[in-house]
Amino acid sequence: MLKGKKIVLCVTGGIAAYKAATLTSLLKKAGCMIDVVMTSSAKQFVGPSTFQALSRRPVHDDLFTEKDPEQIAHIDLADKADLILVAPATANTIGKMANGLANDIVTTTVLASKAPVWVAPAMNVNMYHHPSVQKNLLTLRDMGYRIIEPGSGPLACGWVGKGRLSEPEDIFAALKLFFTDDDMQPLKGKCVLVTAGPTREGVDPVRYFTNYSSGKMGYAVARAAHAAGAEVILVSGPTSLKPPEGVELVNVISANEMYEQVMNRFDNVDAVIKSAAVADYRPKVINDHKIKKADSEMIVKMVRNPDILAELGSKKQDQILIGFAAESENIDEYAKKKLEKKRLDLIVANNILEDHSGFDSDTNHVTFFFPNGTEKDFELMSKEDVARQLCSSLASMFEKRAKQ
């Protein structure tokens, strides 16, 4: 997928420049022809000789020094690039690119190229969230640049928050996906909404009702759908999982919040895969203050939450709707009833009491049930493999509809 691709890696002046060395190594091993372009500030963190050794190519670090006198370096790089990646991208370079400024080898190369441009920001959390930086990133998005969202965590400056350069392995995986042939991306051109995780229903400021869902299945589905070429929206309840690269993440807490976010997007998606474990009930009253313990029993009155899947089934037009049935008994019976009652195109059923198939496990033993009576029972496999099987079935359903 990457062999022979010409990648221009633009390294700017941030501590995360060391990660660009790892990325260079990964790309070189994958068979890329990688040209590294550096700002003067970047050389304060990692020397050009490091990138030259890893890429086996000359490093371009000065606008007015031509390695080949018969070529203008930044024009030649811009013309030949299959993709330009700015990683790490500092606030300064982002600002210059957003405003069409070109006063160094990086910005002139970017401005002169018609190739796709990816930008991977890395900076202090407060810098990243500054309105001017966010405005510049929005401008770049509007120009068609792809922004590789930074991660959250401890930063080199001592702050904790969003601003860490995305990991080289994640960027590398995104590049592989970008250059994958269309026939290997059967969901390309489709928009798929995935729900994942549990919901929390508040009782008071310190207590809530929830369930054991970890979100692993839904996150695996989101990754698989993205790998298959789909535009993916992941509506997630509270989890500790890392958001999948390249997926739009919408965080929610309660069932009502999930209902609102899903219903607002339903008309604009091609499929919904609802793997979230949504609470069926919520407390009728949420106390503003902590409920103090007493000698008597505590009674919490509960009311029904909206049935998201049922409402989607009643409103769907051309969308494909897939649900999950996590049951502890009568698996087939309950799954088939849910399939019919909620007008689903596929339901994925599993026994939560079976070893290695319950919540928070990394594996699952599932059966696919279709409206025409077809059933597919799979052996115990990883949730990643279940997700790939699910996306394969989704692609087949789209293909059949296209032929009708």
Give catalytic residues, as residue numbers.
157
SS (H, E, C) 335-351: HHHHHHHCCCCEEEEEE
Spatial contact of 51 and 39, defined as CB atoms under 8 Å apart? no
Q: Is residue 290 marked as binding?
A: yes
* Residue 218, SS3 per DSSP: helix
Which conformational region is residue 264 in: left (phi greater than 0), alpha (psi within -120 to 50 degrees), or beta? alpha
Q: Is residue 308 marked as binding?
A: yes
- Whether the link from the prior residue into 205 is cis, omega within 30° of 0, is no
Phi, psi of 54 (to 5 degrees): -80, -35
Phi, psi of 266 (to 5 degrees): -60, -40
Provide the token pair at 73. 């370096």
Provide the token pair at 151. 């991660």
Q: Is residue 306 marked as binding?
A: yes
Looking up tokens 């009311």 gives 303
Please state, in angstroms and rounded to a whole number, the distance separating the CA atoms of residues 302 and 371.
33
Residues near 127 by beta carbon (within 8 Å), at least 6 away in sequence: 91, 133, 163
**Residues annotated in a binding site:** 280, 290, 306-309, 324, 338, 342
**Residues annotated in a binding site for CTP:** 280, 290, 306-309, 324, 338, 342
